[in-house]
Structure 1
Amino acid sequence: MAIRVVITGAAGQIAYSLLYSVAKGDVFGKDTPVELMLLDIPIMMTALKGVAMEIQDCALPLVKDVVATDDPDVAFKDADVAMLVGAMPRREGMERKDLLKANVKIFKAQGASIDRVAKKTIKVVVVGNPANTNALICAESAPSIPKQNFSALTRLDQNRATAQVATKLGIACSDVKNCIIWGNHSSTQFPDVTFAKIKEGDTWVNATTKIKDDNWIRQDFVNVSNRS
């Protein structure tokens, strides 16, 4: 049975790169058919229809349907997965408060649509920055969907923090877990090792008891983790 996957901002460059990985089975498996629901704003519909035709031209065996639409209720209807790539970019001279206001409108509307028409088991990943804020807005706007079904893809920052701890202790990244990034991807985000764990034999111990270097945690760790 095919899973229905929504990709927003689907006429944009990021979504364009993502689409083929989803369509080829790199994301959900080589044996999992997909229905691609491509969502963008009305002025992007000509470009979006071109993207849909390109997917169709590839005749990929896992793609059972491709729908290009500017209507969120059409896109999210019975959706299993939503990849929210589209967001208002911060333009030169734009105040952060103006960016947040623009994205509130976008993600509030998408969250409400998800709440109305998507499967209650839908999994939502938010890519568009500020990802953490946008994910929160979307989740709050979809009260019937479990909050744990929403994720913000700030993985770069989390991976960077994990790698810094692993390097500091001379261990593998796989032996570090639960590093946390507070805030959005920016110079003001805050990497946190308070809840981080280090694998020691068959158990996990608090990372700070192994690092034993408050100066590194407060300065070097934060500065390196927050680089662009």
Structure 2
Amino acid sequence: MAKEPVRVLLTGAAGQIDYALVPMIARGVMLGPDQPVILHMLDIVPAAEALNGVKWSVVATTDVVAACTGVNIAVMVLVVANPSNTNALILKEFAPSIPEKKHNLSDKYPDVNHATMKTPAGEKPAQELVSDDKWLNGEFITTVKQLGAAIIKARKLSSAVSAASTACDHIRDWVLGTPEGTWVSIAVYSDGSFNVLAGLIYSFPVTCRNGEWTMNKVRE
């Protein structure tokens, strides 16, 4: 039996990131190839003309009520725009009707301590295979963190595809769940675990089930 369509709301829809994100969602990268989706695209009135560029088989509007009507994936709020930690904290403070467990943000930091690489002999720790802790913990991390700025400098445009791909992966884990026995790093509000000040938005190891995340305190 075919699944019921899921309505997904994208804000800032005329922007570069959403323009790259739309085809990824449409072909099932985010919610799976067997999940029909109906996209609702919202942007501000000055962007209405640009919004027409993505207005095909979607709800594209500058009206907030029209954009949000019937939406399934919007109460799950993913913050992408920098400074993402600050923006997520502002959202948490000024949108109190959205439960804290529905706020997440997408940002980049390579966790070299837990990264693995696939080899013919199975998955191996990245640190073991690279055998250069100085490079992994120095130049590599710096390069990844500054990748967005480097792309903007080279293209004179945002690193939209990278951000869109990250957002897709993030929502997929959040909605469909993390594989059994695994966890992912997601920036969520702190409850004081891992000696991080309570109330801050910070990256923690979490597992996801049924659209909810749970902090993996075994890693603490």
How far 1:145 sits from its partner (Å)?
2.3
Aligned residue number for residue 210 of structure 1: none
1:181 to 1:25, Cα distance in 2 relative to 1, 3 A: closer
Out of 142, 146, 149, the residue aligned to residue 99 of structure 2 is: 146
- State the distance in 2 between where 1:41 and 1:71 align: 8
How far 1:178 sits from its partner (Å)?
7.7
The list of structure 1 runs, each at least 4 consecutive aligned residues, that deviate by more than 4 angstroms after superposition, is 164-169, 175-182, 204-207
Deviations 1:64-103 (A, max 9, x none): xx11111222222232213xxxxxxxxxxxxxxxxxxxxx
Out of 119, 135, 139, the residue aligned to residue 88 of structure 2 is: 135
Aligned to 1:163, what secondary structure does the other structure show?
Answer: coil
- TM-score normalised by L of structure 2: 0.51
- State the distance in 2 between where 1:76 and 1:180 align: 25
Note if 1:48 corresponds to 2:51: yes
Deviations 1:133-192 (A, max 9, x none): 1112223233232211110101x21xx1x21465686389xx99687879xxxxxxxxx9
Aligned residue number for residue 68 of structure 1: 60
1:180 to 1:147, Cα distance in 2 relative to 1, 3 A: closer
Answer yes or no: is the 8 Å Cα contact 1:3–1:32 preserved in 2: yes
The CA RMSD over aligned residues, in Å, is: 3.6
Aligned to 1:37, what secondary structure does the other structure show?
Answer: strand
- State the distance in 2 between where 1:180 and 1:123 align: 13
- State the distance in 2 between where 1:205 and 1:27 align: 28
Deviations 1:94-137 (A, max 9, x none): xxxxxxxxxxxxxxxxxxxxxxxxxxxx2111111111111122
Aligned to 2:112, what secondary structure does the other structure show?
Answer: helix
Count of aligned positions: 136
User: Where does structure 1 lack aligned partners over 5 or more consecutive residues?
Assistant: 57-65, 83-121, 183-191, 197-203, 208-228
Out of 81, 90, 102, the residue aligned to residue 73 of structure 2 is: 81
Aligned to 1:170, what secondary structure does the other structure show?
Answer: helix
Answer yes or no: is the 8 Å Cα contact 1:128–1:134 preserved in 2: yes
1:138 to 1:74, Cα distance in 2 relative to 1, 3 A: farther
- State the distance in 2 between where 1:177 and 1:24 align: 25
What is the 5 A alignment of 1:1-228?
A: 1-52=4-55, 55-56=56-57, 66-82=58-74, 122-154=75-107, 156-157=108-109, 160=110, 162-164=111-113, 170=128
Larger Rg belongs to: 1
| % identical equivalent positions | 40
Select the structure with the greater relative contact order (CA < 8 A; seq sep ≥ 6).
2
How far 1:205 sits from its partner (Å)?
7.1
